[in-house]
Amino acid sequence: MEVVDTAQINSFAPIAAQTDFVQPSEEAFFILTSGQLSALITQAVEKAIQPLQDEVSQLSATVARQDEKIAVLESTQDTHADNQLILLRLIHDLRETIKKEPGKTEISRAEKIEKYLSSRPDHRANFETLKGHLGVDKDLLNDAIKTLMNSSPGRYGITRTPGDKRKRTLIMLPK
């Protein structure tokens, strides 16, 4: 057997004295059952995700409000489209009514043309003469002649002037 020198044994003493060993205390150790550990983990997870759950519920409420607004806008848009269609139809009907029915002025001009042609021995007048007689331009004269011809179909005719084929003449035909 070897004889161990006490000096060798004591050589470990300075090393042991240099290291700071923490003495375990009662607070450093926890003894938990699996149920307690599970409850602690559950509480920690719930506490960590609660702000996220609040934010998700706020975003869900925002999305629901926006869905309602979109539905209202879509129904309003459909109503506007229907209203525009109705307005366009009314405008079209008004234009057609205006085109079909001559005004008082056109009727009085047509009557003046009829009296003028009746008073002439040949029952004819060129368009230039009629424009001068009525004091209107070409378009208004054409409207008056159209009214006259529509009021008495087959009673009036339009021919070219014999000397100048560019000019036209209105003729009252015999009955």
**Torsion-angle region of 162 (φ positive above 0: left; ψ -120 to 50: alpha; else: beta):** alpha
pLDDT at 82: 87
Tell me the C-alpha distance between 45 and 38, whole Å: 11
Residue found under tokens 């008082």: 104
Structure-token pair, residue 108: 């009085």
Distances (CA, A) of 154 to 14, 99, 167: 142, 21, 21
pLDDT at 53: 92
Q: What is the pLDDT along the chain (175 residues), one digit of tens a residue?
A: 455 555 555 555 555 555 555 555 656 677 889 999 999 999 999 999 999 999 999 999 999 999 999 988 888 888 888 889 999 999 998 888 776 678 889 899 999 999 999 999 998 899 999 999 999 999 999 999 999 998 888 889 999 987 888 889 998 888 7
**Nearest partner of 145 among 172, 164, 120, judged by Cα:** 172
pLDDT at 41: 93
The model's pTM is 0.45
**Cα torsion at 130, 135, 137, 143 (round to 10°)?**
-60
pLDDT at 24: 57
Q: The domain 104-172 is classified under which CATH number: 3.40.630.30, 3.40.50.300, 1.10.3720.10, 1.10.10.10?
A: 1.10.10.10
**Burial of 161 per CB tally in 10 Å (0-12, 13-18, 19+):** middle
DSSP 98-125: HHHS--HHHHHHHHHHHHHHHHSTT-EE
pLDDT at 62: 95
